[in-house]
Amino acid sequence: MDGAAINITQEQKVQASLKYLFFTFLKIGCVSFGGYMALVALVQKVMVDQDEVLDNDTILDSVTVASLLPGPLAVNIVAYIGYHLKGKAGAVISMLAVLLPACTLILLLSWLYFNYSYKIEWAQIMQYVAAAVSAIILSAGMQLFKKEIAKNYPKALLCLFTIAVISWFNSYLVTITLILTGAVAGLFLSGNKYKNIAVLTVFKSRFKFSPTSVLIGLLLINEGVFISNIYKNINSILLKMGIVFSGISLSLFGGGYVMVPIMQSLFVKDLHWVTTQQFVDTIAFSQATPGPILVSATFIGYKLAGIAGAILATVAMFGPSAVLMIVVSKLFKKNKDHSLVKDMVSGIKVVVIGLIISSAFKIFFQQHLSVLFVAVGLVSLLLSFKYKINPVYLIIGSITLGVIAKFYGI
């Protein structure tokens, strides 16, 4: 890590109590619109720049590990950070807090939807949120670029290459290829020489029988039941829901949007749990609320089995992949100081910074670029990057502007 980056002392880590994690991620969860990179930017602004309980290395490591594993990226990143600061309890508390706002809203909207046929019409109110979110992400990316890359021209070139490639070829496989490219580039840029055996023995670990290993075994069995379609012969709707949503959690690579068409085929055509219109409406609900798009599981669970079903579906959707994330995080933490791993990660971080910056441009240019929208983006970028304004206020301000625009016809 460069000297300009923030170093975290043990005293600062102690300040990140479970109470701190809960209320910080609860606050972030209330305004985390715009996908997992928006959440990463919010965490970087709040927990690195303002509260100084994390360093940039941890943020970038969390994105790296989460990108290589199944499950919703945003929640897995939160689980990694919570585990890094306060162990397993920290991971659970952090996940609960960041999901609570979105799941509560979805649960309320589900009740209104199935009892009063309520449909959400927030498009105009939320129209300027994307401008603020893209500015916050770009600001975080620029700060990371400044601290982690600075005037290292080979790394800067790799970062620009990442931005260019992901702008033209936006897919999970391309993202993974870029991350692997970053790892190889990190080895070359370090100038160190490694024997082939070193690569094979970095992550060596002895198997130990423990509750965690039992849990991983059960998850693997569940995945087998899901993939083989054995669950279709189960009569209990709650048990079937648990198997299906857990199976999706461990089959999801590349983020929630990748799984939307697969989930539609499964829930609508195969299982007949929801109609096509209900599925479209739940995706609309999840897009209009903060948090990951996969909180749609809460809606489907409520439809099938009420509040108990909503809770079960939510836990099954986000829990299994988080368990896997914690296990891999523990392995990564044990080996991250190895020189080979450090060199690989140094290159991967450059790619991740490129992914963060490119996501800001994507969110911004996918919207209708009115004069007011562009102005909101530029002002938000200035306030975030130069004046370090809390990103929560920027998002609340953009929502307020949307409310004014809707009711006064701006």
Condensed to tens digits (0 to 9), the pLDDT of residues 302-325 reads 999 999 999 999 999 999 999 999
Residue 335: which residues within 8 A CB-CB, separation 6 or more? 202, 203, 341
How confident is the prediction for the chain on average, in pLDDT? 87
Mean pLDDT of 1-14: 44
pLDDT for 376: 97
pLDDT for 119: 67
3-state SS class at 323: helix
Position 3 pLDDT exceeds 80: no
Per-position DSSP letters for 144-191, written without gaps between them: HHHHHTTT-HHHHHHHHHHHHHHHH--SHHHHHHHHHHHHHHHHHHH-
Mean pLDDT of 183-194: 85
pLDDT for 13: 47
pLDDT for 1: 37
Closest to 305 (Cα-Cα) out of 232, 242, 238, 239: 238
Give counts: helices (H), strands (E), the chain: 17, 0
Condensed to tens digits (0 to 9), the pLDDT of residues 284-304 reads 788 778 888 889 999 999 999
Q: Are 118 and 343 in contact (CB under 8 A)?
A: no
Condensed to tens digits (0 to 9), the pLDDT of residues 225-244 reads 999 989 999 999 999 999 99
Mean pLDDT of 335-342: 84
pLDDT for 15: 77
- Name the phi and psi angles at 337, rounded to 5: -85, -5
Residue type, position 328, single letter: V
Position 12 pLDDT exceeds 60: no
Residue 14's pLDDT band, with cuts at 50, 70 and 90, is: very low
3-state SS class at 34: coil
pLDDT for 214: 85
Handedness of CA 396, 398, 399, 403 (dihedral sign): positive
Mean pLDDT of 212-217: 84
Condensed to tens digits (0 to 9), the pLDDT of residues 37-63 reads 889 999 999 999 999 999 999 999 999
Q: Which two tokens stand for residue 121?
A: 């019409």
Q: Are 108 and 9 in contact (CB under 8 A)?
A: no
Look at 84 and 13; give whichever has higher pLDDT: 84
Position 403 pLDDT exceeds 50: yes
pLDDT for 259: 72
Q: Are 41 and 137 in contact (CB under 8 A)?
A: yes
Position 174 pLDDT exceeds 60: yes
pLDDT for 363: 86
Mean pLDDT of 185-192: 87
Residue 140: which residues within 8 A CB-CB, separation 6 or more? 40, 41, 44, 45, 356
Q: Are 101 and 1 in contact (CB under 8 A)?
A: no
Mean pLDDT of 155-181: 90
Q: Which two tokens stand for residue 240?
A: 């079937």
pTM of the model: 0.84
pLDDT for 341: 86
Closest to 27 (Cα-Cα) out of 376, 290, 315, 384: 290
Look at 65 and 208; give whichever has higher pLDDT: 65
Q: Which two tokens stand for residue 74?
A: 């945003």
pLDDT for 161: 97
Mean pLDDT of 329-348: 87
**Which of 87-96, 102-111, 171-180, 340-349 is the least confident region?**
171-180
- Name the phi and psi angles at 251, rounded to 5: -110, -5
